[in-house]
Amino acid sequence: MKTTAILLAAGQGTRMKSDLPKVLHPLAGKPMIWHTMEAIKQSATEKPIVVVGYGADEVINYLGESAQTVLQAEQLGTGHAVMQAESALKGKTDLVIVAMSDMPLMRSETWARLVETQKNNAGAVSMLTVIADDPRGFGRVIRNADGAVESIVEEYVATSEQLQVKELNVGGYCFNAEWLWDALRRIQKNPHKGEYYLTDAIELAARDGLPVQAVVMNDAEETIGINTRAHLAEAEAVMRRRINLQFMLDGVTMIDPASVYIEIGATIGRDTVIMPNTFIHGKTEIGEGAVIGPNSIIRDSKIGNRCKVLSSVMESAVMEDDADVGPFARLRKGAHLGKHVHMGNFGEVKDSYLAEGVKMGHFSYIGNAQIGANTNIGAGTITCNYDGKKKHATEIGANVFLGSDTMLVAPVKLGDGARTGAGSVVTKDVAADTLAVGMPARAVKRSK
């Protein structure tokens, strides 16, 4: 059966008080519409259609080729929004899933249950409901004496008796496509709001004598919709618990899961320990047996096995196996630490490669440099790589010893085994196995 999802994403989300379209607000590192599309894609067989409106260009630009878009120029309700997809879908699909893009916590298993229910339903529609004490503004599911669903009553028009109903309309549907297009034309404009509500289609199906199947959800957290920043924070907490739980089940230790923030897309190997107040963003890869944190921020970086990152910040950087940094170290874009590299507190590396076994003391800065194996970088050493207009490279060989507070004025090269005295300002190349001292540094003798 051809099954196509329609995602409603045209609303402005005024209560978010933001210039950014609501569906593009991030949740665990991904826009909320991404979560909805990801959850539905296993149940749909065709490319989804996204109904856009406010901020249409931004939403379309984000979606790219992942979805077809149709424009709802006027915000005339959910029923009107679904109608915008008719010309793209009529005669081309058997089932239509309708989802709200501001409900990103819905699981793929839930959508699969809904679609499977409709495949076995002789009626026109199946819908998602939940039993909950907190109605959260949802419409009430009204059933007849036989227990069959006969309508949805929105909260603002519900009677006091109807408000006592605990079964709530979640806002997820699966329709028989052929029936849907005709039903949409029969929906009347709501006299209170002046809009066409998709929820009225449920009553139309019941009047047509077509059974409406209700799939009652077990997890009320899935039904959290986002209309304010407070709702966004609530959903973020739920998503964070899900992510962290899965990592722990896969063999990652978290000392305090509530204080660990991991975005979707990160991978972490077994026996790695994540300490409190650690943030792991983007496409970060962490190997096995590592210790990350506490108080660390990792973004789009690759960390090898048995590495240690103590109270430090990494961005688009690489640490090979058994390297360690911190506390209070910073690896900026292009930093690459080889195996067994040690980088002390308050150090910073950018666009540089430190080969295996390099020891980098505290309060040092290495930029645009290539450092050979087993070199010792004394505390306070700086590569002076920027002359105000251009950045220049520093090349340091293997087994070099740089005295504390050495200034390396790029472009400059130091050969294997070279040494500098404390406080040296190196402006010229230093040959292999040579000691350079002073300001500016001068070669005084062979270092061996």
Task: List, by residue number, the catalytic residues.
Answer: 362
Alpha carbon distance 150, 8 (integer Å): 24
Dihedral angle at the C-alpha atoms of 76, 78, 82, 84, nearest 10 degrees? 20
Cα-based distances in Å from 220 to 110, 129, 284, 407: 12, 10, 31, 61
Q: For the CA atoms of the chain, what is the radius of gyration? A: 30
Q: What is the largest CA-CA distance in the chain?
A: 101
* CA–CA gap between residue 17 and residue 201 (Å, rounded): 31
d(CA 205, CA 124): 6
Tokens of 314: 């990494």
Cα separation, 336 vs 297, whole angstroms: 17
Structure tokens at 180: 């849907």
Strand (E) or helix (H) holding 324: strand 324-325
At residue 153, the 3 state secondary structure works out as strand
DSSP 67-126: SEEEE--S---HHHHHHTTHHHHTTT-SEEEEEETT-TT--HHHHHHHHHHHHT-SSSEE
Q: What is the rounded CA–CA span in Å between residue 448 and residue 435?
A: 9
